[in-house]
């Protein structure tokens, strides 16, 4: 019995000793791929969600009443200024016009006769050959004739205007939409909307910027020497690129106090009419910063609560004051290659890569593969080989 207990105790000691030895074994370094950060010139674009807008757009309303007797366009087609679009029943307006024209001729004859009589009686009055009362009546008749002629002329012009208003023409070149009336519909002046027409060449593109970017866009607008090719380009809703470039037309007068944004309007030529008002597009503004940028693979970024960081690799003794200050975390002293997390400020994404504005410097080595297995202070092992083509820097995508 005593021997069995002794044997059991011996086995337990061996097991405990074995466990301690296993616990004492250091963890194996985590294999990773590293990338050495380098600064180089890149061409990239800032992107803004935008909407196409017509520079001119009006609702066509009738200015005279009557029934629609004719429609002379194809819905959705391009029309030119002065093209005949609608006709309202003209019969009553033609009749009024003819009557006014005839009345104007009568009043013109009366005025001519009154003028001749006034001239004759003025001569006789100067020679005291006619009664003063007769002369005064002639002068009054002349004034009445003038007023009658003026009234007839105004009536004639009014009837002519109404007759012209019975034909609705295009106020400018543009695209016309769906007709809101059909032949036989009755129109009320100033109330019945017949159609909507909008200009289409050139066309505007509106987007919003942050108030901090205002000075940058003002400088772009003032710099007349800046080449316009590819400075402002457009991505269409089907992700294709619009072939023509734009320029700044208007910077809004004030910043929205609630959102801190400002509207910018670009103008793009639209000779083929491929841009329609109301389209959702993306404006690309070519960045003018020619200084070298730090470009790293996008897959090396770690996102936490809207903030980004990378793992820096350090191949010296960790734990010193300089390392603690650089990493922002206290790290145990040890020998080997270690990874520690570093917050960064990101810029524009270019293809599978991203520009880093702050947080790392040229020459830093960052982890591009295996970041999911790391934590701050993890010991890592690198093959000292450059990352494969899938993780390396790709040529900038414009």
What are residue 86's DSSP bridge partners?
A: 71, 168
pLDDT confidence of residue 336: 73
State the Cα–Cα distance between residues 301 and 307, nearest whole angstrom: 10
Contact between residue 342 and residue 325 where contact means Cβ atoms under 8 Å apart: no
pLDDT at 241 over 70: yes
What are residue 313's DSSP bridge partners?
A: 339
Where residue 40 falls among pLDDT bands split at 50, 70, 90?
A: confident
State the Cα–Cα distance between residues 291 and 40, nearest whole angstrom: 8
Angle, vertex CA 43, rays to CA 38 and CA 44, nearest 5: 105
Contact between residue 159 and residue 93 where contact means Cβ atoms under 8 Å apart: yes
Structural element, H or E, at residue 393: none
State the Cα–Cα distance between residues 341 and 377, nearest whole angstrom: 8
pLDDT digits (tens, 9 = 90+) for 19-39: 554 555 566 788 888 888 888
What are residue 277's DSSP bridge partners?
A: none
Residue 272 tokens read as: 């083929």
Residue 360 tokens read as: 């790392």
pLDDT digits (tens, 9 = 90+) for 102-135: 999 999 999 999 999 888 888 888 888 778 888 8
Nearest CA among 360, 358, 361, 322 for reference residue 341: 360
- Domains in the chain, start-ordered, CATH in brackets? 27-42+291-382 (2.40.420.20), 46-55+199-286 (2.40.30.170), 91-165 (1.10.287)
Instruction: Give the other-Cβ count within 10 Å of 106's Cβ.
Output: 12
State the Cα–Cα distance between residues 146 and 326, nearest whole angstrom: 97
pLDDT digits (tens, 9 = 90+) for 152-177: 999 999 999 999 999 999 999 999 99
State the Cα–Cα distance between residues 53 and 250, nearest whole angstrom: 13
Where residue 4 falls among pLDDT bands split at 50, 70, 90?
A: low
Reported residue count of the chain is: 398
State the Cα–Cα distance between residues 44 and 293, nearest whole angstrom: 10
Burial 73-98 (b: 16+ CB within 10 A, else e): beeeeebeeeeebbbbbbeebeebbe
Give the chain's radius of gyration (CA, Å).
43
Instruction: Give the other-Cβ count within 10 Å of 59's Cβ.
Output: 11
Torsion angles phi and psi, residue 330, rounded to 5: -75, 130
- Provide mean pLDDT across the span 53-72: 93
């Amino acid at each position: 019995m005593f021997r069995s207990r002794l044997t059991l105790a011996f086995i337990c000691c061996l097991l405990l000793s074995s466990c301690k030895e296993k616990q004492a074994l250091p963890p194996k370094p985590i294999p990773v791929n590293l990338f050495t950060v380098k600064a180089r010139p890149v061409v990239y674009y800032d992107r803004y969600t935008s909407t196409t807008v017509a520079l001119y757009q009006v609702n066509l309303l009738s200015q005279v009443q009557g029934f629609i007797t004719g429609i002379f366009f194809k819905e959705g087609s391009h029309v030119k200024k002065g093209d005949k679009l609608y006709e309202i029943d003209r019969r009553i307006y033609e009749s009024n016009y003819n009557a006014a024209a005839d009345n104007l001729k009568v009043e013109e004859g009366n005025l001519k006769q009154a003028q001749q009589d006034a001239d004759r009686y003025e001569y006789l009055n100067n020679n005291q050959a006619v009664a003063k009362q007769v002369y005064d009546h002639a002068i009054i008749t002349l004034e009445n004739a003038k007023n009658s002629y003026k009234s007839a002329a105004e009536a004639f012009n009014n009837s002519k205007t109404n007759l012209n208003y019975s034909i609705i023409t295009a106020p400018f070149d543009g695209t016309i939409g769906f007709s809101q009336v059909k032949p036989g519909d009755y129109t009320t002046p100033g109330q019945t909307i017949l159609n909507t027409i909008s200009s289409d060449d050139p066309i505007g593109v509106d987007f919003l910027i942050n108030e901090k970017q205002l000075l940058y866009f003002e400088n772009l607008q003032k710099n007349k020497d800046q080449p316009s090719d590819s400075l402002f380009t457009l991505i269409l809703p089907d992700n294709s690129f619009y072939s023509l470039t734009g320029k700044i037309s208007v910077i809004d007068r004030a910043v929205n106090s609630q959102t801190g944004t400002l509207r910018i309007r670009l103008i793009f030529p639209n000779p083929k009419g491929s841009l329609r008002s109301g389209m959702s597009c993306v404006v690309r503004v070519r960045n003018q910063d020619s200084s070298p940028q730090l470009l790293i693979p996008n897959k090396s970024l770690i996102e936490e609560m809207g903030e980004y960081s990378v793992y820096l690799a350090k191949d010296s003794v960790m734990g010193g004051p300089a390392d603690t200050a650089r990493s922002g975390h206290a790290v145990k002293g040890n020998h080997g290659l270690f990874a520690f997390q570093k917050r960064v400020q990101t810029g524009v994404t270019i293809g599978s890569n991203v520009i880093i504005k702050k947080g790392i410097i040229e020459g830093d080595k960052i982890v591009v593969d295996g970041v999911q297995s790391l934590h701050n202070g993890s010991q890592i092992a690198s093959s000292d080989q450059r990352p494969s083509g899938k993780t390396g820097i790709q040529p900038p995508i414009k």
